[in-house]
Every structure is written in C-alpha cells, then in structure tokens.
Amino acid sequence: MPRILAAALAILAFSSQSLPSAREQLADLRRQAHTARHSGDKLGYVQAALKVQSLLNDAPDAIESVAFAYSEAGDASHALDSLARFANMGQVDESLIDSSSKAFASLTEMPRYKTILEQFARNKALISKSDTVFTLPDAGIVAEDIDYDARTKTFLITSVLEKKIIRVAASGTSTDFALSPSHWPMLALKIDSARKLLWATEVALDGFTTTPKADWGRSALLCFDLPTGKLLRRLEGPPHSALGDMVLAQNGDPILSDGTQGGVYRLSQGGLRLINGTDFISPQTPATLPDNNHILVPDYLRGIGILDLRSGQVEWLKQDAPENIAVNGVDGLYFDRGSLFLTQNGTSPERVISLQLDRSSTRIVSSKIIEQATATLGDPTHGVLVDDSFYYIANSGWSELDEHGDLKPASKLTPARVMRYVTR
C-alpha cells in the first residue's frame, strides 16, 4: 500500500492495550515535538526529534527531521551531520535542491551544505536494470498486487479503482478473473498452487469517494477457486482495518497486515488471530523465512521487522552500514535464498532494490538498486518471484490519485507496466 495510505493513515487510531503501542508512542512524541517547537523550547524539540528517530529505527525522514530540529536550535554542526547522513542513505529532498524550502536557511551558505546538495543530485541518478514484460491495456486499473499462476502461465493482478482481479498473459492480453463481491478496491492477493486457491483482500478504503461512506474502514479476506474464479469464502476483517497486504505460510494459512491499525493477523481454524498489534505502525507485505517460524514484516515507517510467529515478538533487521541503506517506505518485500527484493514507494527517489542478508537472515550486508528515477517507474507497488526473475508493478497509478482516490488536478492515468529483473 503506497504512501497515500500508509503515511496518511498510519497514526489515526490508538490501541486499547495497556502498554503503549509503537503508534501511540509515535503520536505522543510528535505531540511533544510540536509543543516544544511552538513554545520555543529548542532543546526539548531536539530531544523529541531524536526519540522519534530512535523509535523509527533511524528512518531517513526521521533523520532529516532531527537535522531540522538542530538547525532551529542553532546547532549547525549536528544539523549538517544529520543532513549528510540522510543524503548518504541515497535520499533526496527536492525542496532543498530547488530552494523552495527555507527549512535550512541558516546553513545554505556553508560549504558542507552545498556538498550535501551535490550528493542529492547524484542520488537522483537514473538507474534501470530491468525490462518491460508487458503494459496493461487499461490505464484505469490502478494495479496493486501481482502473483503468478504457473499452471496457466499467467499473472493475476488486483485493481484498486475497477475493484476486480484480472488475469494477464505474458503478451499483455487480459481477462477478468473475479470482481470484488462488496464492490470495494481489491488489494492483496496470493496463490496457493498446492490447494488450487487464490486468496485476496477487498478494502473499503477510508475516505475513498468510489466506496460507500457507510463501508469505510471495513475489509475482508476472500478465497477463490483458482481454476474457475468462484468465490468460496469471505471473512470480514477487524473493525476499522485495512487488510492490504498478505503472505501465505508454508501450510497455506494467510498472514495479513493491517496498514492502518498496525496489526498482523493469521487465519486459523478459529478465524483471524492477532499475532502482533503493538510493534508495527503501518505493516506492509510480509515475506516468509525458510525456518517457517519467522516472517519479515516491512513497516512503512520503522523499517523491516523479524516477527516470531509463535511468540509474536519482533526484532528489527540490522545493518552493517545503516547510513547507506534506507529500508523505510517498503510496499512489497520478497525473500529468495538469502536475498530480499523491495519495492519502495515511500523513499525519495522511489525505487526497487535488492538486499543481501547474512546466513542468519537477521542482518543486511549489501544492497543494489534495480530501478529508480526512470520516467516509467511511478509508484511501484508489489512483485512476485518466478524462477530466475523478479517481476514487479511499475507506474501503478497511485501517484496520480489524491487521498480520496480521485484523480489529482491536471493528472492523467497511464497504463501500468510489469517489469522483469533477472535475479541470477
């Protein structure tokens, strides 16, 4: 689920549990930062910004916020240190390049600041290591998730605006597989080939004008017969949830992320069971690890968590060089023999990257950019690993929509693309 939902809706509601959730902590720290800044408490503002940075596991946006707090406090040295770290993570602040922002006005004449702007320019470099497989024939689809049906050698793709799942051949020709039974946007989907099932979700996205207001905040898990597209089961999700992302456990159980409320759920015989509802702010597409007891859960704001499916405990993926790898803003995450493939529509620039993990799958040791800053990337959403290739959706259409799901002024939807990157 791209930034239009994950960033805007991540902090809307509070958990009722006794210990403060990550979402509650973030909301409280942001209030502290706001109060301190507007009361003139510069030290308090810096301290609150640093606490946000720690909570978000050194996410680049949080690091830049710390730079701004230091700048307002008159601490140019620490402001430049943080801003340089932000740049070294491959990030760009366009408003600083074109001077439309006066956030760091006190630093603009300093040589080190100008060096950082030069780094921003290098970070915008066009990189393209993948090729277009096909372009969807209908620009109005707004493609979200994708999976591959090996039996028919076709891709299945969910549509946000047309509220359906389509089947697409490698040539690009498409047919409808199934419509949303509730006429809501279709988001996640995963194929269970062994059981000939397709799991998917429909979500009445809060605020979307194409969805009845009475349904806003509802979502459901759907099970279809893979060969025929017949709906076999519909399970209503928790209230006020957005079950927008999914992975299947080895036994076929769907594991779902709620990008709005922060919960991670597993379908069991008793229904949807909450695995963790406190550590994630906006969890996105999980990836299973080979031990079958842990999954990697990308949090749009906090980075990549390692979730123990038995205990519900979370540890965070570590890095050997944290200043060089931004792991926030991840929409899709996929594991393949020690490598991760990520679609990041919450970084600047947006990009598709691969990460190499150590043998324990708990630490990142290197990274590679697959695509960024191309004219056709747009908002990349999800992908799928097939044999020796990673296929992903580019130019999904999300970037042309506002927070209500309506086309932005002067914007135009263009057909989404499915790209292919050869992994080995």
Please tell me the predicted confidence (pLDDT) of residue 20: 93
CA torsion sign, 282 to 286 to 290 to 294?
positive
As a whole number of Å, the CA-based R_g of the chain is: 21
Q: State yes or no: pLDDT of 157 exceeds 60.
A: yes
Which of the 8 DSSP states describes residue 104?
A: T
Please tell me the predicted confidence (pLDDT) of residue 16: 40
What 3-state DSSP class applies to 215?
Answer: helix
Band (19; pLDDT cuts 50, 70, 90): confident
**The two three-digit tokens of residue 274, written as one number:** 């909450």
**The two three-digit tokens of residue 47, written as one number:** 């301290």
Class of residue 236 by CB neighbours under 10 A (exposed 0-12, middle 13-18, buried 19+): middle
Please tell me the predicted confidence (pLDDT) of residue 17: 45
Query: CA-CA distance, 328 to 351, in Å (whole number)?
Result: 11
Please tell me the predicted confidence (pLDDT) of residue 323: 58
In 10 A of CB 250, how many CB atoms?
Answer: 11
Q: State yes or no: pLDDT of 27 exceeds 80.
A: yes
User: What string of DSSP letters covers 216-249?
Assistant: TT-EEEEEEETTT--EEEEEE--TT--EEEEEE-
Q: What are phi and psi of 411, to 5 degrees?
A: -95, 160
CB 185 within 8 A of CB 401: no
CB 218 within 8 A of CB 233: no
Query: CA-CA distance, 270 to 341, in Å (whole number)?
Result: 33
Query: CA-CA distance, 379 to 367, in Å (whole number)?
Result: 20
Q: Which domains does the chain have, with CATH numbers?
A: 3-123 (1.25.40.10), 127-422 (2.120.10.30)
In 10 A of CB 21, how many CB atoms?
Answer: 21
Residue 70: name the closest of 37, 119, 96 by CA: 37
Query: CA-CA distance, 297 to 263, in Å (whole number)?
Result: 11
- Its pTM stands at 0.93
Mean pLDDT of 97-115: 92
- For the segment 327-340, what is each residue's pLDDT rounded down to a tens digit? 999 999 999 999 99
| 230 Cβ contact list (under 8 Å, min separation 6) | 224
Mean pLDDT of 411-419: 96
Our CA dihedral for 60, 374, 367, 400, rounded to 10 degrees, sits at 50
Please tell me the predicted confidence (pLDDT) of residue 15: 39
Q: What are phi and psi of 95, to 5 degrees?
A: -65, -25
Query: CA-CA distance, 370 to 242, in Å (whole number)?
Result: 29
Query: CA-CA distance, 311 to 309, in Å (whole number)?
Result: 6
| 375 Cβ contact list (under 8 Å, min separation 6) | none
Q: Is 123 left (phi over 0), alpha (psi -120 to 50) or beta?
A: alpha
Class of residue 117 by CB neighbours under 10 A (exposed 0-12, middle 13-18, buried 19+): middle
Query: CA-CA distance, 93 to 80, in Å (whole number)?
Result: 14
Q: Which residue type occupies 120?
A: F
Band (324; pLDDT cuts 50, 70, 90): confident
CB 5 within 8 A of CB 206: no
Query: CA-CA distance, 9 to 410, in Å (whole number)?
Result: 25
Please tell me the predicted confidence (pLDDT) of residue 238: 95
Query: Pick the residue with more confidence: 296 or 1?
Result: 296
**The two three-digit tokens of residue 348, written as one number:** 């600047």
Mean pLDDT of 200-229: 97
Task: Name the E strands within 269-411.
Answer: 271-276, 287-288, 294-299, 303-308, 314-316, 318-319, 330-336, 339-344, 351-357, 363-372, 383-386, 389-394
Mean pLDDT of 252-271: 95
| Cross-sheet strand order for the sheet of 254-258 | 243-248, 254-258, 264-268, 271-276
**The two three-digit tokens of residue 243, written as one number:** 């079950």
Band (2; pLDDT cuts 50, 70, 90): low
**The two three-digit tokens of residue 15, written as one number:** 């958990």
Query: CA-CA distance, 282 to 110, in Å (whole number)?
Result: 37
Instruction: State the chain's mean pLDDT as an integer.
Output: 94
Q: State yes or no: pLDDT of 14 exceeds 50.
A: no
Task: Name the E strands within 67-173.
Answer: 127-128, 131-135, 143-149, 154-159, 164-169
Query: CA-CA distance, 220 to 189, in Å (whole number)?
Result: 12
